[in-house]
Amino acid sequence: MHEMGLMEEALQMVSEDAEKHGLETIDKVSLIVGDLSNVLPDALRFAFDAFCKTGEIPRIGERAQLEIIRERGLARCALCGKEYEPSEYLALCPECDMPFGVIQSGETFKIESYEGS
């Protein structure tokens, strides 16, 4: 489950930034997760909860909350220009059956924001 590693890295970054800004506790972390990012939101939540319980990462406590903001996956057909939501990278255009649409959005995995005190 690579989500554990991703979450650990994200929380470390948040913790380090919070320290620079004089925050003692992280109350909420907001992440943007794209439908095509190969990151599973449920696995991220599991990883987040695990790190909150262990206290392994400074400033992240048991009461911290995780917000996952979904970024829709969108592709544009290189042949007919139709924009569509692919269920996977090799999805066919629903208009002309052309494979390999140009991905417009949905690959993101990033820290959007955090709140602390």
Angle of CA points 32, 87, 111, to nearest 5°: 10
Annotated binding-site residue? 52? no
Where does residue 81 fall: left (phi above 0), alpha (psi -120 to 50 degrees), or beta otherwise?
Answer: left
Annotated binding-site residue? 21? no
The pair of structure tokens assigned to 41 is 């939101």
Annotated binding-site residue? 77? yes
Alpha carbon distance 67, 36 (integer Å): 18
- Cite the annotated binding site for Zn(2+) by residue number: 77, 80, 93, 96
- Cite the annotated binding site by residue number: 2, 77, 80, 93, 96
- Cite the annotated binding site for Ni(2+) by residue number: 2
